[in-house]
Amino acid sequence: MPNILEKIKQAGLVGRGGAGFPAHLKWKAVASAKSKKKYLVVNFSEGELGLFKDIHIMQKFPDVVFSGIRLALDFIGSRDCYFNYNKEYYKKTKSLVLPLIKRYEGAGYRFYIYGEEPSYIGGEETALLNAIEGRRTEPRAKPPFPTTSGLFSCPTLVHNIETLYNIALVGQQKFENKRFYCLSGGKSEGVYFLPADWSIQKVLKQTENYPVFNFFVQIGGSVSGEVLNSNQIKKREVEGAGSIEVYPIKTKPRDLMLKWFDFYACESCGKCCPCRLGSYNISKILKQNKKIDWKEIINLLESMEKTSFCALGKMTYIPVESYIKNVLKLKISLKQI
Ligand code: SF4
């Protein structure tokens, strides 16, 4: 389909893995890169808490996802697809996916399955490429970007399952600017496919997840996402990877912070000190003291933001800063952050 790139551009399709990068720019970069070998890497491994849409999509619409895979491979001029499959998802969907792989292999496409334990850093494209190559799962310095030098130094297109699903819809002229929302903490937890421009409040109400209690939400991932109070959700749309988690207003700050920082401490790849020690030390401070020492934590977050190697360490301040400002409404200066 020669004008698929234009259609993807006109649809305004962005990656749904969290970064929100325009899909047509990635396609153009990989297709125009000069190389005999190019790859598509399918990331089917949601590593953050609160995200479970890709497994839902694959269980419900495996044919559509594979139609998106074929469009992507044909456009970049490749037959080689690495399928990054978290082990838990493999068990749940292999009976759907393996026959499709066999069918596409019959048409000349080549699939390589790479299995891994779910990990947050595995969602970072270059860390994923390192893992597939058998190296440590840690991010690479950029540039070069994977679109020009990715898997085995070849131009590589990396997409998650929801993005490939949307690409198929664009190809079939059925794309309607909807997105998959992962809802948790409310009455009707689950995955919902609804317009991408709805406010968070509207999504919660339409899905019967709007709480009867006082609440706040975390959007775009239940660890790294921004925290908003119930007044802020009237006009704001969901960002990032598309999750909304509802918390009762009486949630204890220490419990919430520990949820985040135990996760960060565990998921830090360990490549750089600010993130490896910063997240571990914040978790330790929280465990050792009943009262939160915000000043000390903010100092550590500031160091992490300024000196960490990749976004995992650099963006750790986002949930904390937004929680302090929007929910706790503490008068703590975060100017330097
Ligand atoms: S910030 Fe550093 S330690 Fe943390 S995940 Fe990135 S590279 Fe690894």
**Segment among 9-23, 51-65, 275-289 with least mean pLDDT:** 9-23
pLDDT digits (tens, 9 = 90+) for 229-264: 999 999 999 988 899 999 999 999 999 999 999 999
Q: Is 203 in the pocket of ligand 1 (CB under 6 A)?
A: no
How many CB atoms are closer than 10 A to CB 290?
A: 7
DSSP string, 287-313: HH-SS--HHHHHHHHHHHHHH-SSHHH
Test site for ligand 1: of 120, 121, 135, 267, most ligand atoms within 8 A of the Cβ = 121
Residue among 136, 223, 261, 275 whose CB has most ligand 1 atoms within 8 A, to mutate: 275
Q: Identify the residue with better confidence: 335 or 155.
A: 155
- Looking at the structure, do residues 199 and 57 belong to the same domain, yes or no? no
Residue among 126, 266, 309, 314 to mutate when testing ligand 1 (max atoms within 8 A of CB): 309
- Within-domain flag for 334: no
Same domain, 312 and 200: no
Question: Are residues 166 and 189 both part of a single domain?
Answer: no
Strand partners, 158: 41
CA 18-247-50 angle, 5° bins:
30
The CATH number linked to 110 is: 3.40.50.11540
pLDDT at 3 over 70: yes
Is the CB of 86 inside a 6 Å radius of any atom of ligand 1? no
Residue minimizing CA distance to atom 8 of ligand 1 = 269
Q: What does the block give as tokens for 139?
A: 């991010």
316 near 297, Cβ under 8 Å? Answer: no
Q: Is the CB of 275 under 6 A from ligand 1?
A: yes
161 and 185 share a domain?
A: no
Q: Measure the CA angle with vertex 93, ends 88 and 98; round to 5°.
A: 120
Q: Whose CA is nearest to atom 1 of ligand 1?
A: 313
Q: Tell me what pLDDT residue 337 has.
A: 46
324 three-class SS: helix
Q: How far apart are CA 194 and CA 60, in angstroms?
A: 16
Mean pLDDT of 206-223: 96
Q: How far is the CA of 234 from the centre of ligand 1 (A)?
A: 35
Domain that holds residue 216: 178-248
- Judge if 27 and 161 occupy the same domain: yes
Query: What 8-state DSSP symbol labels residue 234?
Result: G
210, 201 Cβ separation under 8 angstroms: yes
d(CA 304, CA 230): 29
266, 286: one domain: yes
Indicate whether residue 127 lines ligand 1 (CB < 6 A).
no
Taken in order 4, 5, 11, 14, is the CA torsion positive or negative?
A: positive
- Predicted confidence band of residue 79 (pLDDT cuts 50, 70, 90): very high
Q: Enter the tokens of residue 307.
A: 């000196």
Ligand 1 close to Cβ of residue 221 (< 6 A): no
Computed over every residue of the chain, the mean pLDDT equals: 93
pLDDT score, position 334: 59
The DSSP-derived string for 179-226 is EEEEEESSSS-EEEEEETTSBHHHHHHHTT---SS-EEEEESSTTTSE
CB burial readout 235-268, b (16+ within 10 A) else e: eeebebbbbbbbbeeeeebeebbbbbbbbbbebb
- Between the CA of 308 and the centroid of ligand 1 the distance, in Å, is 6
Alpha helices in the chain (DSSP H): 4-11, 23-32, 53-60, 62-76, 87-106, 125-132, 161-171, 200-206, 253-267, 273-288, 294-307, 311-314, 317-323
Tell me the two tokens of residue 91. 């068990």
- Say if residues 334 and 325 touch (Cβ distance below 8 Å): yes
Task: Please work out whether the CB of residue 140 comes within 6 Å of at least one atom of ligand 1.
Answer: no
Do 233 and 273 reside in the same domain of the chain? no
* 97 and 240, same domain (yes or no): no
Of the listed ranges 19-33, 52-66, 322-336, the least confidently predicted one is 322-336
Question: pLDDT by residue (tens digit) across 106-151?
Answer: 999 999 998 877 788 888 999 999 999 999 999 999 999 999 999 9
* Ligand 1 site-directed mutation target among 48, 264, 268, 281, most atoms within 8 Å of CB: 268
* Distance of alpha carbon 122 from alpha carbon 137, whole angstroms: 7
Same domain, 12 and 98: yes
Which of 108, 136, 171 is the C-terminal boundary of a domain? 171
pTM of the model: 0.93
Domains: count for the chain:
3
- Residues 243 and 258 occupy one common structural domain: no
Q: For the segment 287-337, what is each residue's pLDDT rounded down to a tens digit?
A: 998 899 998 999 999 999 999 999 999 999 999 999 999 999 887 765 554
Other beta carbons less than 10 A from residue 324's beta carbon: 20
Q: Which of 68-77, 191-200, 287-296 has the lowest mean pLDDT?
A: 287-296
**In residues, how long is the chain?**
337
- 121 Cα: distance to centroid of ligand 1 (angstroms): 8
Question: Which residue's C-alpha comes closest to atom 2 of ligand 1?
Answer: 272
